[in-house]
Structure 1
Amino acid sequence: MAALPIRSLALIVRTLEGGGMQRIVLLLAEAFAKTGIQVEVLTGHDAGTISKLPPGASIRCLPRSNVFSSDLALLKARPRDAFRLLPLLTPLKPDMFRRLPALIEYLRTAKPDAILAAGTQSNLAAIIARAAAGVPARLVVSEHNTLSIVAHRGHGVFRWAYPGLVRRFYPEADAIAAVSRGVAQDLAQTTRLPEELITLIYNPVDAEAIARAGEMPVEHPWLTDRSRPLILGVGRLHRQKDFPTLIRAFAIARQQRDLQLAILGEGSERKMLEMLCHQLGVQDDVLMPGFVDNPFAWMSRASLFVLSSAWEGFALVLAEALASGCPVISTDCPSGPREILQDGTYGSLVPIGNSEAMASAILTTLAAPPDAARLRARAAEFSVDATVAGYRRLLEGADNSR
């Protein structure tokens, strides 16, 4: 099939608040816009709080419909799939399906040449909306998390139904992408989709922007006093990130060395984590300032970055820490860290939830930190250009015969 030129692209993501997937969508929007493509990011987020995008890119907040209107739109779009769609026909349906009528209307009116959706619920909504709108736009869906774990541990009936819904609807997309080999393999195994239908496209790291941000001044005494090594964690205060294991590991390592720990992020587990710090007697040496505007200034000054997650899709923040030249260790969680660190070549991998092994890796890495230039070189392999080229091939149909 000859490649089809793209003049306009719709990027669909549930929200632009926090998270690696959201940063990736904005990075892709900027990169595609710089190639001359008119890009519009469609989201449920209040676009007014997002930093300005370059010329040729914009953000549209899709309005939320009431339950009745969104259910009616879904059933009208897929009457033959009504039974299969029952998990989406509840007041607690995924947010993008409350915005399905607006998404269908947008596609009918704007008629973009191509659509790139990010995340399971956005992928499903995009597939159904494109068919309902009757537009010929090529559609690429991208899976950003380990579906089997999301379906098993996620809240809400609709997440338990994801594997069946994905198996039914993903083949209607023109292409399916996964952000790590682990995500691709899990997607195939969980949904029984042929793995050859899934294209691996790693998430991008803007190494030059991270380096510039890392050089910016930041006001905090822990970042200027280098007498005590600073351990850093970054992410939502959510069970997925398993910060209790990091705090316990820090408490163990601190018995042998004078250390400080900063966890940048906010979330529902804050009070529990603060209580744990008090129980372990490390409350004076653990800082949780919430989300910060420039985490890269912390990464470039930290002695060690630790990813303690129970599961990931790619673990973008781990690659960003490498781009900052910061030594890293990570849990060997599905999916992403083992691929980013090349089986432990660029940082130690420890078992999930094992605070003793994590403490040992912390002390070992601090005693003999790796070369920062080597870490930055590894991060540079996940370039924005490579990611954009991968998605563009799928969006244009250049190497896909579906």
Structure 2
Amino acid sequence: MITNLCTAVTALGVRLDILLVKAEGPYVEKLPASARLIRLRTGHTATSVVELALYLRRERPDALLAVKHRAIVAAVRARRLARVDTPIGGRLGTTVTAALEGKSERRKRLWFDAMRTYYPAMQAIIPVSEGVASDIAHITGLRRDAMTVIANPVITPELFRLADAPSPHPWFDEEPPVIIGVGRLTAQKDFPTLLEAFALLRKTRNAHLIILGDGEQRESLQRLAEQLGIADDIGLPGFQKNPWAWMSRSRVFVLSSRWEGSPNTLSEALALGVPVVATDCPSGPREVLDGGVVAPLVPMGDAGALASGMEQMLNSPPPPEILKAAVSAYHAEASARAYLRALGLSVNGQ
């Protein structure tokens, strides 16, 4: 999402510096050419404070947006070290309480104490959903009205262009229908429940299931598919640079997560007019789907409910116009303008 935000901000004529701690990964090449990329020598956000302070003192930017918790802590500490008054905004993209569930009490305490110490020093706290905002308020004691919720810049012209690419898999060229999930193969996404739900669905109708993404659970998911007797109807093609060509041709998109912040893949599927089913996890799906009005919301970890939701969407898909309207606030330009306003900046008087 940050690449989308950077592209939308520069398209509005804003001069943008992008400070990279780790200049690697599939998305670095997608950063806008008009932005100035500054590769920090440090290998970790926590050790970037001095270098970031030197940048703030030298460049005096009009504002600084820090992405994720560790970057927020580093940014506030760097500004103090630099003795400048640069406004800082912090983007929070996940529900921290859910993300730290099962972690040690010491780790939780350190994380929460840092939030209480550093977040009040920011000029703009920017959660990506109401659920994330409520979680921050609960942890820090900050008022909810001290935060500005801004929808992720999910919808771009590039998304629709890439969605129209040639069919990426022969399953899309024939029946039965394809159901798709997208995300890292980790505990957060709870793809084992999706496999169990798909096995239940397969008892009543033919279908294929494709899960895009890589991660530590690949082998265990393959074993589970074999145990459930659905291995021949499951595809695990790994990470795909263009997931939208897969998503746009699928009959149903499924979000089976245990937690999110604001689920981008869910918003992308809706923007493409693809029927969806989502778990009612913290947080984001309930907001995006208007409490289940737009599409089914099911309990987390409930394979039976997930299977019923998939069958409902296969049998009675909502009109694409309704699905697309649900994510109208997620267009990249609107999101970029909202970020600039939150940072106290304006473009063309807006």
TM-score category of the 2 structures, normalised to the smaller one: over 0.9
> Matches of 1:29 and 1:183 in 2, distance apart?
22
Cα deviation digits, residues 188-241 of structure 1 (max 9, x gap) = 01222222211111112224322221111133211212x111010000111111
Q: 1:161 to 1:340 in 2, by over 3 A?
A: same
Give the alignment partner of residue 9 of structure 2, picking from 23, 28, 32: 32
Aligned to 2:284: 336
Where do residues 101-140 of structure 1 align in structure 2 (5 Å cutoff)? 101-140=50-89
Q: Which piece of structure 1 moves more, 232-241 or 376-385?
A: 376-385
RMSD over aligned Cα atoms: 1.9
Aligned to 1:80: none
Aligned to 1:291: 239
> Matches of 2:70 and 2:11 in 1, distance apart?
28
Q: 1:397 to 1:300 in 2, by over 3 A?
A: closer
Report the 3-state secondary structure (helix = DSSP H, G, I; strand = E; otherwise coil) of the residue aligned with 1:116.
strand
Query: Cα offset for 1:30?
Result: 1.1
Aligned to 1:241: 189
Q: 1:206 to 1:29 in 2, by over 3 A?
A: same
Report the 3-state secondary structure (helix = DSSP H, G, I; strand = E; otherwise coil) of the residue aligned with 1:125.
helix
Where in structure 1 are there 5+ consecutive unaligned residues?
Answer: 1-23, 66-94
Query: Cα offset for 1:343?
Result: 0.9
Where do residues 93-172 of structure 1 align in structure 2 (5 Å cutoff)? 95-154=44-103, 158=107, 160-172=109-121
Q: Which amino acid aligns with 1:45?
A: K
> Matches of 1:187 and 1:266 in 2, distance apart?
30
Aligned to 1:89: none
Aligned to 2:41: 63
Q: 1:349 to 1:370 in 2, by over 3 A?
A: same
Where do residues 335-374 of structure 1 align in structure 2 (5 Å cutoff)? 335-374=283-322
Equivalent pairs, count: 345
Q: Which piece of structure 1 moves more, 116-125 or 49-58?
A: 49-58
Where in structure 2 are there 5+ consecutive unaligned residues?
Answer: none
What's the % identity of the aligned pairs? 39
Report the 3-state secondary structure (helix = DSSP H, G, I; strand = E; otherwise coil) of the residue aligned with 2:148.
strand
Query: Cα offset for 1:156?
Result: 9.9
Report the 3-state secondary structure (helix = DSSP H, G, I; strand = E; otherwise coil) of the residue aligned with 2:185.
coil
Q: 1:334 to 1:48 in 2, by over 3 A?
A: closer
> Matches of 2:19 and 2:31 in 1, distance apart?
13
> Matches of 2:35 and 2:106 in 1, distance apart?
35
- 2:128 aligned with 1:179: yes
> Matches of 1:370 and 1:320 in 2, distance apart?
16
CA contact (8 A) 1:230 1:261 kept: yes
Q: Which amino acid aligns with 2:233?
A: D
Give the alignment partner of residue 255 of structure 1, picking from 180, 203, 206: 203
Query: Cα offset for 1:160?
Result: 4.5
Query: Cα offset for 1:321?
Result: 0.4
> Matches of 2:100 and 2:40 in 1, distance apart?
26
Give the alignment's TM-score, normalised by structure 1: 0.81
Q: 1:128 to 1:315 in 2, by over 3 A?
A: same
Q: Which amino acid aligns with 1:38?
A: R
> Matches of 2:120 and 2:9 in 1, distance apart?
25
> Matches of 2:73 and 2:334 in 1, distance apart?
26
CA contact (8 A) 2:212 2:239 kept: yes
CA contact (8 A) 1:230 1:259 kept: yes
Q: Which piece of structure 1 moves more, 239-248 or 368-377?
A: 368-377
Aligned to 2:23: 46
Where do residues 244-323 of structure 1 align in structure 2 (5 Å cutoff)? 244-323=192-271
Report the 3-state secondary structure (helix = DSSP H, G, I; strand = E; otherwise coil) of the residue aligned with 1:38.
coil
Report the 3-state secondary structure (helix = DSSP H, G, I; strand = E; otherwise coil) of the residue aligned with 1:302.
coil
Cα deviation digits, residues 47-73 of structure 1 (max 9, x gap) = 5852254343133332226xxxxxxxx
Q: 1:156 to 1:263 in 2, by over 3 A?
A: farther
Q: 1:196 to 1:379 in 2, by over 3 A?
A: closer
Cα deviation digits, residues 232-287 of structure 1 (max 9, x gap) = 00001111111111011001101111111000001111111111111111111111
CA contact (8 A) 1:47 1:60 kept: no
